Structure 1
Amino acid sequence: MSGAGESACSSRGEPLALGEVCTDLTMSTGNVISMRGVRRRAGQGTTEEMAVPCACYSVSLGEEEREPLSITVKLFPVGLDTDAVRQAVERALTELSVKQVEAIVLSNPLPWEEMTLDQLLPLWRVLEQFHAQQKVAYLGLADVEQSLFEAICQCDQVEVKPSLLQINLTNCCSVPDDLRDFCRQRDVQILTHNDAQEVLPGAVLRPLLSKHLALAEPQRWSLVWSLRYLVMVQHKGVIKNKGYIVHVARS
């Protein structure tokens, strides 16, 4: 975990004290696949999988390991801050010690029927910049309304079209035929998921912070972005590494 001017990790489980100078903090679960407690609860939701943050669980991938692996990063920004999206992608690359990931999926930060193309485009352009720098091969979206997804695919201002579309089946019991046809024509892969709209709500975040950090005013801290990375062995469907990174800030 790291904050403004501070980095700490406790091996004894005591809450870590943060000085007043610390105004933001990034926490990582490390590889949850390697944690026995998480393995025993396979199939749990995203929120439950965000385990005890500790930098002692290294997830760095060696260059000799990189070629047979496929890495997907799913971003969960809070709001429409483009800097948050940029920071999240850069942190994922740093955490995994890789120069490129195969795919980045941007989760809709707003209620799915409220997001507009004008709001989405600035966030998408950040991802396009990483694509132009060859730091990501494919881009995707999650939980956007069908009309919005079709609009961004057909938008002349978009240089890199979505290659992936994730749909939460709690909002849509089946993929509409016209959407399936639209994606097939554009070689877009449709995937389903069960991530919550709010992956780390305040009611969960603040008790978690208070448990592991000595904060004077935990109610002033809020989530800025979170992400999940999934590292799989190509062509085998075996998960090698899975973890979460969370960035919070103090108001």
Structure 2
Amino acid sequence: MGMFYNGANCDIYIGKGAGKKLLNDIRNAKKSIKIVSPFLSPFLITELINFRNRNLEVQLITTDNIEDFYGNYEKNIHKLIIQNRKTDKEAVEKREKWKDLIKILTYIGFGLLTTLIGITYYLKDIKVLFGLIPIIILFLIIKLYKKKIENKQIYSYWYSQLFPFKVYMSPDTTEESDTRIHSKIYLIDDQIAYLGSLNFTSSGTKHNYETRIRTNDLNAVKEIKEEINQLMNHSHLPERNIQLWGSQLYPEPIN
């Protein structure tokens, strides 16, 4: 992982609003958008989601410093990581049989209890109340099956991505690596590439004093595309596990 390319033709921009041309090119993309940016703003993540909804190929490489909405707003991360649920049909059938058994045992239990009360009233003999013992046992069995139903797992979960993205761990959150993903790379339709200091954030694209270069040099774009591919598919840097992350984002009721 890593590259050097010399002699590329490029445009250079330094100053405030360095991301204006970048955003225009991104919004005019016809086929694909590939982004490497350690920081992201919520509204720009929303743009990527909209691009994906337009059937554009979207790839994102970022770090675990993702900004998101707070409070009552819907979090973008819930759109990027999608919860999928599978139902265990055999477990459902077993649970339904237990429910039917509980109904039968409940009818029997209340029937026996009513009968016992009637016999006690008729015979006026307190010893008849010893008949409560099997009834109590019956209701304890009912309670046991209710607990079994409550603990029976019929759902299993897994998580998928709205579009391919990698979230690498920063050295602040892991001791597995001291490498920090700090690049800012934008590749549009595999034809136009941007490099520079600006993150895919509102401040980076609009307000900060930034530097960036823009190139459509064929050889340079080819090298940049390969570098993004390496980061996306062949990096050995520690990354957030999507399945674990999803289980932390969503509730997972078992039944």
Under TM normalisation by the shorter chain, which class is it?
under 0.3
**TM-score when normalising by structure 2:** 0.27
The structure in which a higher percent of residues are helix is 2
Larger radius of gyration: 2
TM-score by length of 1: 0.27
